[in-house]
Amino acid sequence: MAQQTIVTLIDDLDGTEGARTIRFAWQDTTYEVDLNDANREKFLRALEPYITAGRRVSGSTGARRVL
């Protein structure tokens, strides 16, 4: 018997389907949040001035730039 498992990511803010996992770091802690496209854009717009002004850190800090 064949089985198929389907995983649907749900937006952590508004509960809608079709989310993607976003990973970001803040003060040495890495977080993940599942966001749909609209909430992802809001998140990126809020962080854009800080990302633009900030410096990338090389090495294995575990943090990734939000894309």
What is the structure's pLDDT at 24? 93
Are residues 43 and 35 in contact, defined by beta-carbon separation less than 8 angstroms?
Answer: yes
In a domain, 48, yes or no: yes
Kindly indicate the confidence band of residue 66, based on its pLDDT and cuts at 50, 70 and 90: low
Q: Give pLDDT, residue 64.
A: 55
**Domain count of the fold of the chain:** 1
Q: pLDDT tens-digit profile of 15-62?
A: 999 999 999 999 989 999 999 999 999 999 999 999 999 998 887 655
- Indicate whether 29 belongs to any domain: yes
Bridge partners of 23? Answer: 32
Please say whether the beta carbons of 7 and 20 come within 8 A. Answer: no
Please report whether residue 34 resides in a domain. yes
Residue 14 is assigned to a structural domain of this protein: no
Structural domain for 45, as ranges: 24-53
